[in-house]
Structure 1
C-alpha cells in the first residue's frame, strides 16, 4: 500500500465507504476508559467527538447525560442517530458533523468532552486536544483515549501511518490551554481480541479538568 493510500484511510471519504454497508462496524459497547472515568461524574451535557456509530453516545445518554455526537462521516452519524432512536434516546441525543482536525467550538460548551481512538497520521493530536478543550465549560472535563505505541499493535498492522498516529497520554499535555488540570495521564493495560487473536495493549488515557474560574 502506498503512502497516499495509507493516509486516505484517515480521511472522511474512506469512513463514508466503511459506514455505507448494512453490517455494524463496531460492537456498540462503551469504551472501557469512558465507563471508568465518567461513572464518578455528575451527569450534564457531553460532546463525543469521533462518535462513529454512537456506542459511547448511547451509553452516556443511558447514564442521564444530554449528549451531542460529532463525526466527520455523514453515514456514521446517520447510523448513530438510528441506533439512539432504536434505544429510545432520541430526546437525549443530537448530532453534529464536524472534523476534529479543524474543530471549532464557537459558543458551545459542554460539561464533558470525550474522544476515543481518534488518531491522526501527521502527529496533530496535540492540536486536536487543544481544539477539543475549547468546548469544555467551567468545571468540566476533557477525556481523550487512544492507542499507545506497542509491539502487539505494530505486529498486527504494517501501515506506517497507523504507527505514527499512536500516542502517549503525556504527549497531549502541551495542547491543553493554560489552567487545565491534568487528572489522569497514563497508559492503561487492556486485553482485547483483534482479527480473532487476543492481544495485550495499552490505552493512552488523558483526563483533564477546566477550572471553574478561568
Structure 2
C-alpha cells in the first residue's frame, strides 16, 4: 500500500467516464468493453451470500470491492450502511450510480483498482468482495489490501465460485492462476483474525446475469480482532 490511502475518497453519486481512474488502463479497458457489450451484465439483485452473511451485522462503514453495476452497494445502502463502492470499469460505475439515484440512496464511488485506490486504512466495518477479479502478484498486494481495509472488530467477507482455482487456462485467455482465490487470503490470516466461516455451500442463484451457471460458493468470513 502507498501513502495515497491516507485520504478518504470524496463522496460522489455521479461518476464520469472522464474521471481520474487510478490503476492499469488496460484492465479498465478490458472491463469497460465487457460491460459495454451488454446493456446489463449482472442480474441486478444482491448476492445471496452477502445477504445471508450480513443478516446479523450492525450497519456501519462498508467497502464493496468490485461493485460492478451496483446491486450490492445499493442493497447495503438501503439497509443503512455507509457504502464505499470500488470498481475499475467506468461503464459499470455509471450504471451503478444511475441505479443508486433511481432508488434515492447515496454511495461513495471510487474508480480505481483495489491496490491503487485512495482508501483510508483499517476503517471499514465490513469489506465485501463478491466474486472479485483480483489479479495475483508475487507480493500478494490484492490479498493484503483486502485485509488492510478492515477496521479492528470488522469483518472481511470474500465469496467466490467453488472449484475455479483448480481449472486449467482456457482458449479465451482466462487462467485461474492469474487471480486471487479465498484460500490465498485465508493463508495470510494471523492471530489477529478469527475465521468465522470458511466453507463451500450451494449458491443462491440469481435470476439471469453472467455467472448464473455457477452452482457452489466458497465463503470466507473473518473478523479482525485487533
Name the TM tier (shorter chain): 0.7 to 0.9
Q: CA deviation at 1:209?
A: 0.4
Q: CA deviation at 1:50?
A: 0.2
Does 2:100 match 1:100? Answer: no
The runs of at least 4 consecutive aligned structure 1 residues that moved more than 6 Å come to 193-198
Does 2:186 match 1:170? Answer: no
Equivalent residue number for residue 48 of structure 2: 32
C-alpha distance 14-189 of structure 1, shift in aligned 2 (>3 A): same
Could you tell me which runs of 5 or more consecutive residues in structure 2 were left unpaired when the two chains were aligned: 1-23
Q: CA deviation at 1:48?
A: 0.1
Calculate the TM-score normalised by the size of structure 1.
0.78
**C-alpha contact 2:62 2:124 (8 A) present in aligned 1:** yes
| Equivalent residue for 2:123, pick from 105, 109, 112 | 109
Provide the C-alpha distance between the structure 2 equivalents of 1:196 and 1:95, rounded to a whole number of angstroms. Answer: 23
Could you tell me which runs of 5 or more consecutive residues in structure 1 were left unpaired when the two chains were aligned: 1-7
Equivalent residue number for residue 72 of structure 2: 56
Q: Could you say what the CA RMSD is over the residues aligned between the two structures, in angstroms?
A: 3.3
Deviations 1:149-191, CA, capped at 9 Å, x for gaps = 169x969x65463443577643421233550111111111227
Higher helix share: 1
Calculate the TM-score normalised by the size of structure 2.
0.74
Does 2:111 match 1:71? Answer: no
Higher strand share: 1
Provide the C-alpha distance between the structure 2 equivalents of 1:55 and 1:197, rounded to a whole number of angstroms. Answer: 15
Q: CA deviation at 1:82?
A: 1.1
Equivalent residue number for residue 218 of structure 2: 204
Deviations 1:39-79, CA, capped at 9 Å, x for gaps = 11011111101001100001111111111111112221121
The count of aligned residue pairs is 200
